[in-house]
Amino acid sequence: MSELSPAMLSRLALKMPAEFDARQRTIWIYIERTTGRFVKVVLPQMRVVNAGTLQRIHRRAGGQARYLWLEKYGTPFPETGVDGDWSEFVLADEIPHEGPTRLTEAEWAHVQRASRQAALTVDILWLLVEGLGWRPGQPVSDDDRGWLSVWAEEEESPGVMESVRELLCLPRRYDWTPIAVIRAYTTRPRSTWRAIAAA
């Protein structure tokens, strides 16, 4: 097992509601896109990822989705037309933000724009709003230690920094590393995707 990066250590230490944290739980979103109806299924975090584990998680999530759908909408789970996926693959504007932090109409407009222009996903929106207390459309200083948690997601899924910059109305910069991140590393942290995109 490899040693965790300074950014990931910061991310894992972040205090946020577990039902909005894809690092603490496995979170599935089931969406009926024609109507906008959806349910969120929150399961314990997967420890081992293999075909058997994925099948068990998928079956368990599907069963809970059926129960939650009936409870939320009073109708049976549709047999067709519902897509289910991890929160990490659902665009942030595909479902309303139902976290403890309420977003204004103007903030929601920033979420919609960032979702379409820079593939902002639900899990990253939750991280920013519920975990870091950042607001859509409001820039954040590059020495804010919250950037370490964002960088941890960039290390796992290159391109996250660009979607976050879009949400915060910061200019596009493929080669940008926040000062807070640089200070946390003994050698300069890198993202190969951003280096390629900038070329």
Would you state the pLDDT for residue 173?
Answer: 82
Tens-digit pLDDT profile for residues 132-161: 999 999 999 999 999 999 999 999 999 999
CA triplet 70, 73, 74: central angle to 5 degrees? 60
Q: Are residues 45 and 21 in contact, defined by beta-carbon separation less than 8 angstroms?
A: no
Q: Say if residue 141 is exposed, middle or buried (CB neighbours under 10 Å; 0-12, 13-18, 19+).
A: exposed
Residues 160 and 40: their CA atoms lie apart, in Å, by: 22
* Radius of gyration of the CA atoms of the chain, in A: 18
- 25 DSSP β-pair partners: 44
Over range 163-184, report the average pLDDT: 92
Would you state the pLDDT for residue 20?
Answer: 97
Q: Say what the pTM is.
A: 0.90
Kindly tell me if the per-residue pLDDT of 189 is higher than 80: no
Token match 């995707």: residue? 193
Where are the alpha helices (H) located in 74-145, listed in sequence order? 105-118, 122-126
Residues 66 and 62: their CA atoms lie apart, in Å, by: 6
Q: Is 6 strand, coil or helix?
A: helix
Residues 127 and 110: their CA atoms lie apart, in Å, by: 16
Q: What contacts 13, CB < 8 A, 6 or more positions away? A: none
Q: Are residues 99 and 133 in contact, defined by beta-carbon separation less than 8 angstroms?
A: no
Tens-digit pLDDT profile for residues 82-100: 999 999 999 999 999 999 9
Question: How does the average pLDDT of the chain come out, rounded?
Answer: 91
